[in-house]
Structure 1
């Protein structure tokens, strides 16, 4: 660290802090008794227990199970009565030299990766911790810097909190619109609620054929090398139109497996695993596997449903589908369950009108969400800029 402002000096943590790691005590989860006192780990509070070790403000920084890159918030203040396990180092700065919050701001500003050991299990061991260099200005300057950062960060965090609530409000707005679209009379009945004239309750199995494919053997190169047929994986379903897919398979793979090709415009839903319930509408012809279910018209001469209408219907009830589909560690939606789902079905023309309205609303909400996310990112960058100025003596 070079070009320090006048009056600043470099000290290592071993010189300016007492390390209280010998006082920390881990308690296994089965031996913890629930209580009012925070139980701290590498990144913050992990539980509340019935007793405490410390009753003073100290600085904690993750020893393992944390992140130590720049702006990763690897250090934090603990105060009041609390307990600390063996995954966080405990620092007691000499407050005649170094203010607690100044140290926390510096540690969270810094990239500490050069002090980290271990390839598979990364760790900031105590020996390396003691070697961390800290730029230390006079106490009054530390107080001034901390005061500016505290006030600025409080305002920034409040602005971020408002934007995050705005994002949640947009999600609620979309969900409210979906509920209204499929229950326009706002009937409070849980099932088969009253519908407008011309609407009717139908099971999905009555209006659509459900179909899924199978995966060609991965060890057969002739199925995968130089393929020309698009191959969609369930992880590529993003609740939107599918414009492109990563993999391709060969015609031989289609002939010699249960994989199926679905045409442009087909509605798809992921049936199990981490992506269960995710949706997509093909904007290209593509094959897919057994983890994805397609919805096909029973009679192309007498079309009963509009894909985008069914898409939005699934969005409106997805939480229920996922809740109903847990059979093990992860959701597993069966085609039988899908076929038995009851849908409030208006005439085809009205389906398209409803889908068009929801499309427009969805696009507007996406644009607003993108704007809010950009603002949040800008605020986070402002925090980084303030920290950089602080430790270059330009704040």
Structure 2
């Protein structure tokens, strides 16, 4: 299967074909991503047959929910697939990827997504609208420094409870 680069959207194999589903590869939806960027890979899966109708997502890709609770995001740590309610950003060599992830989770970008979404009942941001949103990023060396600092801070604060 081809390796996708850039931004793309997940796909759902025909749900009427029971042979498309199984445990060969995780099949993610927005509900499998929590507000902290954690991913549950165990809810649904595709079979090898189903994978032929889906897009394989490479590890270190960023997934961003684009329907309903738009903006929930994660970085996947393994090959997987997802439905069309998720936009995927494949790894780029010219961007420090965790910096892009932190930028997507910033208040600035979350508000930008909301403002550019469509839909009256359920907010939607399609692939074209999503990929046209700008994220200002510093030079690569600064991205690395900022990301290292944020990773350290998040590690130190993980598990702390507000009282």
Normalised by the shorter chain, which TM-score bucket? Answer: 0.7 to 0.9
**Runs of 5+ unmatched residues, structure 2:** none
Distance 1:306 1:356 in 2: 10
Q: Secondary structure at the match of 2:159?
A: helix
Is 1:314 aligned to 2:108, yes or no?
no
Q: TM-score, normalised by structure 1?
A: 0.37
CA deviation string 1:280-327 (max 9, x = no partner): 1001110111111111246xxxx1112211111111121231233142
- Of 337, 341, 350, the match for 2:133: 341
Aligned pairs for 1:68-107 within 5 A: none
User: Secondary structure, in 3 states, of the residue corresponding to 1:219?
Assistant: coil
Q: Which runs of 4+ in 1 moved over 4 A?
A: none
Structure number with greater CO (CA < 8 Å, separation at least 6) is 2
Map of 2:55 onto structure 1: 260
SS at match of 1:344: coil
Task: Report the Cα distance in structure 2 between the residues aligned to 1:213 and 1:339, rounded to whole angstroms.
Answer: 14
2:119 aligned counterpart, secondary structure = coil
Equivalent pair of 1:244/1:284 in contact (CA under 8 Å)? no
**1:220 is the counterpart of 2:14:** no
Name the structure 1 match of 2:74: 280
Residue 210 (1) aligns with residue 11 (2):
no
Q: Which position in structure 2 is the counterpart of 1:62?
A: none
Q: Deviations over 1:254-279 (max 9, x none)?
A: 22x2x211111111101112x21100
Alpha-carbon distance in structure 2 between the residues aligned to 1:359 and 1:245? 26
Q: Relative to total residues, which structure has the larger strand share, 1 or 2?
A: 1
Q: How many residues are paired up?
A: 156
How far apart are the structure 2 equivalents of 1:231 and 1:217?
A: 13
Q: Is the 8 A contact 1:241 1:283 kept in 2?
A: no
